[in-house]
Amino acid sequence: MRWLTVLLLALSLSVAVADPLPSWRDGPTKQAITAFVAAVTQAGGADFVAPAQRIAVFDNDGTLWVEQPMYTQLAFLLDRVKALAPEHPEWKDTQPFKAAIEGDRKALGEAGMDGLMQLLMATHAGMTSEAFEQIAADWIASARHPRFDLPYTALVYGPMLELLDYLRSNGFKTFIVSGGGADFMRPWAERVYGIPPEQVIGSHIEQRFDLREGKPVLVREPKVAFIDDKGGKPVGIQRHIGRRPILAFGNSDGDLQMLQWTTGASGRRLGLILHHTDAEREYAYDRESHFGKLDQALDLAPANGWIPVSMMDDWAQVFPSP
């Protein structure tokens, strides 16, 4: 019966080769994902979804990459305040700039949202769109995460990169829907996630068209235009995509409404919540966390059929191999 052995070996090899999610441990979570994709792509099946309608939306911070000990864009903002401080000698005696320069997190916390907005506008506005893109690209190329001592773009989650690829190879269009600034993510999202800038939805400040010495520019203005978080996420999705996703993946209460909007419609849908349960390989946090607080969405998950993905249990590997 040697032919049977060969056949079985060939089959098992082909299965091993075919696993599109090798960093996901076998179990109900992985099965739920592959069963969903199989169902919506099976031509003639009850749950078939035409390729054009296969829209999948992903939060960024804490879903596609690390968001501890603080959102990466906040680390960028603080670095930018320090870099710009020599041009603003008055900052060293003025809050919230003093706190940002000194890394005084207590004073920063006390400055609250108003203080954060002041820092945001001082670092994210006043330049052209092209200049900002270069600043963001330069920073992301050089900055390193304080704990892992790696570039932030090395701290994206390998299982999520696999999932993005798997969905795209099944005809899905993958979008980022983040509370962070779209213009902060776009300079590197295509290279790192395979997601082009036109599929990156995020928060925005105002911009203004101008001609400078005959050269057209967009000038970034110190005024918030849109906050793509919480109830803003479905709004951002509607504005930008104009149709309802069939898959949403988030990790915090900021993603609650995006999950509701995605799964609260007829037809087969999938909602997933990354639960940070792995203090050793990454971080463990949920209800009490300052960044990426996951509380209400976790409570509402069972009734809505959203699947909590445990980093510790469901992922064989967290970060991609170098």
Q: Which residues bind a second copy (CB under 8 A)?
A: 52, 55, 129, 173, 182-183, 186, 190, 196-200, 204, 207-209, 211, 214-216, 218, 225-226, 231-232, 234-235, 238-243, 257, 260-261, 264-265
Minimum CB separation of residue 298 from a second copy in Å reads 18
The answer to whether the CB of 58 falls within 8 A of the CB of 176 is yes
As measured in angstroms, the least distance from the Cβ of 112 to a second copy is: 25
Complex with a second copy: residue 242 or 322, whichever CB lies closer: 242
The residue type of 268 is R
Nearer to a second copy, 120 or 248 (CB): 248
Residue 177: closest CA among 269, 128, 244: 244
Distances (CA, A) of 299 to 29, 30, 168, 231, 282: 18, 21, 30, 18, 23
Question: How many CB atoms within 10 Å of residue 153?
Answer: 17
At its nearest, how many Å lie between a second copy and the CB of residue 243? 5
What minimum distance in Å lies between the beta carbon of 202 and a second copy? 10
Whichever of 67 and 183 has its CB closer to a second copy, that residue is: 183
CB of 127 to a second copy, least distance (A): 13
Contact 316, 297 (CB under 8 A): no
Residue 18's contacts (CB-CB under 8 Å, 6 or more residues apart) are none
Choose between 188 and 315: whose C-beta lies nearer to a second copy: 188
Smallest gap from Cβ 125 to a second copy, in A, equals 14
Nearer to a second copy, 104 or 190 (CB): 190
> In sequence order, what are the residues at sequence separation of 6 or more whose Cβ sits closer than 8 angstroms to the Cβ of residue 291?
61, 62, 67, 68, 69, 70, 71
Q: Please, which residue, 226 or 291, has the CB nearer to a second copy?
A: 226
Q: For the beta carbon of residue 136, count every other beta carbon within 10 angstroms.
A: 21
